Structure 1
């Protein structure tokens, strides 16, 4: 009984193998598999080309934005320097002026603003 099971197991393991090697089956299914593989490879090549183009476009866009942000940062630094200088000048003016002259200056600005407002209305 043990030899019979061994024979069945051996037949299951070596099914399709002859003494000279593997039995050749028809070549038709093999050719279909190669054609499917070729089509799949062509599809993958197309997808890779599209992804390569997209990644190149993304790279260009990122570089453009980085240059723009660098320019904005430089402009902000420049404007910060100008604003700081202006504030320093205002501080000097306010420190030198007396409170009475400052009140006169502010009141004249308010009167001029109100006059322009009523004339344009």
Structure 2
């Protein structure tokens, strides 16, 4: 606290010296006006400290949020890579099936069954809505 008083005293001396120089050295400076401006400066400084503290907290929160999102995106990227590996393996198996003549017949049969079940599903759905 004494440091603050010393700072205030030195600031007041500077302001008083500046005022006396401005007025031509007549020494008519007022300590009351310097106390008011000092008080306003302290209030402005306190307000600025509060704003800086708030911005520091806000930037810390943003940093934490960004770090959390980066971890989430990394996990999602790893899962996508794993899915890509599984999908490419499945596509390679389909290629092997299509290359065999018996595999083509099997694919036609699977296609027919899928089409049959889709038509059956829509038929049941239409009948339910018409009742």
Q: TM-score range with shorter-chain normalisation?
A: 0.7 to 0.9
Q: Secondary structure at the match of 1:42?
A: helix
The alignment status of 1:55 with 2:53, answered yes or no, reads: no
Q: TM-score, normalised by structure 2?
A: 0.69
The alignment status of 1:17 with 2:25, answered yes or no, reads: yes
Report how far residue 120 of structure 1 moved.
Answer: 4.8
Q: 1 or 2, which has the higher helix percentage?
A: 2
**Unpaired runs of 5+ in structure 1?**
1-12
Q: Give the distance between the partners of 1:66 and 1:101, measured in 2 at CA.
A: 45
**Unpaired runs of 5+ in structure 2?**
1-20, 127-131
Larger Rg: 1
Equivalences, count: 105
Structure showing greater relative contact order (alpha-carbon pairs closer than 8 Å, 6 or more residues apart)? 2
Q: Corresponding residue for 1:3? A: none
Alignment root-mean-square deviation, CA: 2.3
Report how far residue 52 of structure 1 moved.
Answer: 0.4
